[in-house]
Amino acid sequence: MNNGHGRIAHWPTRKQRIIASRASWILHFGPIADGMFVCHKCDVRACVRPDHLFLGNQKVNIQDAVSKGRMGRGTKVNTNKLSEDQVRYIRTQYPGRSQQHIADEMGVSQVLVGLIVRRKSWAWLPD
């Protein structure tokens, strides 16, 4: 297993390994274009049932994860230093105060403050 994905020896040499869901797709539907992911309707990484699989690029794969609530955001991401209330506070302080001053007060970088006020970070959070 690799991050929950089953792996099998790749034919004919057995020196390469392939993710089992990709092997299932190839066996049932044919080749997978470069840059495409084999995604799971069931969200079980080890699943190889062809009726549970679909192809998508990285954007489709991420959108699928977000729509199913599998992508953390905001306070659900354990590396975030800010709460939703702190992000709202930052937005109320700019442009009246400099981004650096706000960053120093909040204990984060000026870059993060800039991303927050331009809605490049925490964009989903309303004021």
pLDDT digits (tens, 9 = 90+) for 69-78: 776 666 666 5
Which residue type is seen at 70?
Answer: R
* Cβ-Cβ contacts under 8 Å for 21 (sequence gap 6 or more): 5, 6, 38, 40, 45, 46, 47, 48, 53
Q: What is the pTM of this model?
A: 0.54
Which residue type is seen at 122?
Answer: W
Res 113 pLDDT > 60: yes
Tens digit of pLDDT for each residue in 27-47? 999 999 999 999 999 988 889
- Asked if 116 and 91 touch (Cβ cutoff 8 Å), the reply is yes
How far apart, in whole angstroms, are the C-alpha atoms of residue 87 and residue 94?
11
